[in-house]
Amino acid sequence: MAADEEYGSRPWTAGLWQRTSGASLDEWRSSPNSLLQPHLKSLCSAIDAVASATDTPEAVAATLADVLDRCDDLEFRDPAEVIAYMILHLADRYGRVTQILEQLFTAGHLPIRRRRLSVLEVGAGPAPALYAVHDFYDDLTLWADTTQQKVEFAPATELRVLDRGQAWSRLLHQLSEEIGRLRQEVPTFSRAFPFGVTHPDFSGFSVIEEHVHALESKARLITEEFDRDDEPISPGYARMLAQEEGVRAPSAYDLVIMCNFLTTRDTIEAFRKEIRDLARSLTPGGLLVVLGSAKERYAPVWADLQQLVYGTTLRPLSMFKDPIAANSDPTRATLIRHQVRSSLSDLHYEGGSLPTKLGDPNKAYRRFPKFRAFVWKNQQPPRRGRRPRQLATEGSRYPK
């Protein structure tokens, strides 16, 4: 069946396809055929395994109170700090990002790409957004293949982490290795997990400058190869070859996600230039997604952020105006609660003294706090003369 026949007289677009397929995907996500529960279970098991492997349970337990009450003051140089943060927050925030991705698909806004889907996560610690994006697109690909959707698209293949904490890289490597081990028997379309921090500092960070630097590095390598063969090559030709071969550092991202990173007005003021640069560094149809607390004291932070992004060409999506109930699906919530409680109980069993604020570990996370989501979309068309690498924005046609 031709695409236009399938969608009546309306031309095929990725947005239309998502909106008309949303109910089918929702049904799939609730079925035993979906990878949703297996992926979440393996993530929770990996968290528990990495936490249980620590040889400093007392130090991890002693850090839990700081992770709960003063995350902004932590440097995350100490392995105990990153493990404590992972135990309390990773699965919960993975669930929140997953909820947003599901709603974006149903509304027709999720980036769908033909060759490569590039994602940058900023300041989220144990990469909850990257694991969530990876797993959602993995399940989306399986659903599309199983239901014979007439669309070709790439799973999440380029996942990059920006975070200043020196201890995050080792933790991400351990966590991704454990997830890969647990999923050996699970069907998958991508094993492009984050294995470390890609960019160590947000201060002065520029997507295009990172891309240019990567191109220059490749051009130097190409020049050296020609030199070893005694073949002259001009700098311009070396750069052209580097451009043709491509580099892993994207010149723009399909998804940029911040989870609980912008927590004060001072943070937004300190990174005004960097945030605006991110807003300008999205592919056509790309999204800037910011998640954070729904508590009233954060309202001025979100107002400052909205004012800052308002001065860009991005269009705000109005679908997330109200606070969102985190992990509202009972089955998913049960899995996440079990992970947190299991990890805390293991710490306590190994001699770690849990903070009074947590109370009985068997009763931790009885309720998840509500959160806010802010999403902006780049609706600018692709620049002329450049072949768009995305499958479709709202107005383009690339059915299978």
Instruction: Report pLDDT digits (tens) over 3-29.
Output: 444 555 567 789 999 999 999 999 999
User: Would you say residue 398 lies in a domain?
Assistant: no
Would residue 397 count as lying in a domain? Answer: no
User: What is the three-class DSSP state of 92?
Assistant: helix
Q: Are residues 216 and 123 in the same domain?
A: no
**What is the predicted pLDDT for the residue at 279?**
94
The residue out of 251, 275, 309 marking a domain boundary is 251
User: pLDDT for 318-337, tens place per residue?
Assistant: 999 999 999 999 999 999 99
Coil, strand, or helix at residue 2? coil
**Position with higher pLDDT, 188 vs 31:** 31
Backbone angles phi, psi at 216, to 5 degrees: -65, -40
pLDDT of residue 224: 85
Number of helical (H) and strand (E) elements in the chain, helices listed first: 14, 8
How much is the pLDDT for 350? Answer: 82
Report d(CA 261, CA 278) in Å as an integer: 14
Q: Does some domain include residue 91?
A: yes
pLDDT digits (tens, 9 = 90+) for 271-314: 999 999 999 999 999 999 999 999 999 999 999 999 999 988 99
CB neighbour burial string for 160-198, b if at least 16 within 10 angstroms, e if fewer: bbbbebebbbebbebbbebbeebbeeeebbbebbbbebb
Report the pLDDT averaged over residues 193-212. Answer: 93
* Spatial contact of 77 and 167, defined as CB atoms under 8 Å apart: yes
| Residue 396 pLDDT greater than 60, yes or no | no
In a domain, 399, yes or no: no
Q: Is the pLDDT of residue 212 over 60?
A: yes
DSSP symbol at 165: -
Q: Are residues 180 and 247 in the same domain?
A: no
Same domain (yes/no): 102, 143 = yes
What token pair was written down for 138? 């993995």
- Do both 98 and 215 map to the same domain? no
DSSP at 88 = I
Counted domains in the chain = 2
47/154 same-domain check: yes
Q: Is the pLDDT of residue 77 over 90?
A: yes
Q: Is residue 96 part of a domain?
A: yes
Mean pLDDT calculated for residue range 95-110: 97
Do residues 239 and 280 share a domain? Answer: no
Helix (H, G, I), strand (E, B) or coil at 159: strand
In 3D space, the residue among 337, 371, 359 whose CA is nearest the CA of residue 99 turns out to be 371
Residues 339 and 366 in one domain: yes
Same domain as 100, residue 46 = yes
Q: Is residue 172, in this structure, part of any structural domain at all? A: yes
| Together in a domain, 300 and 341 | yes
Looking at residue 153, its pLDDT comes to: 92
Q: What confidence category does residue 88 fall into, taking pLDDT thresholds of 50, 70 and 90?
A: very high
- pLDDT of the residue at 399: 44
Residue 278: closest CA among 377, 199, 373, 206? 206
What does the alpha-carbon distance between residue 357 and residue 372 come to, in Å, rounded to a whole number?
24
The Cβ of residue 331 has, within 10 Å, a number of other Cβ atoms equal to 12
**In the predicted model, what is the mean pLDDT of the chain?**
88
Contact 208, 283 (CB under 8 A): no
In the chain, % of residues over pLDDT 90: 66
Same domain, 211 and 344: no
Q: Identify whether residues 215 and 318 lie together within a single domain.
A: no
144: helix, strand or coil: helix
pLDDT tier at 383 (50, 70, 90 boundaries)? low
215 domain residue, yes or no: yes
The larger pLDDT score, comparing residue 358 to residue 5, is at 358
pLDDT for position 307:
95
93 pLDDT exceeds 90?
A: yes
CATH number at residue 354: 3.40.50.150
Entry pTM: 0.90
Range of the domain at 20: 3-201+253-392
Classify residue 357: in a domain, yes or no.
Answer: yes
- 170 and 35 share a domain? yes
Model confidence band, residue 364 (pLDDT cutoffs 50, 70, 90): low
CA pair distance 102, 332, nearest whole angstrom: 14
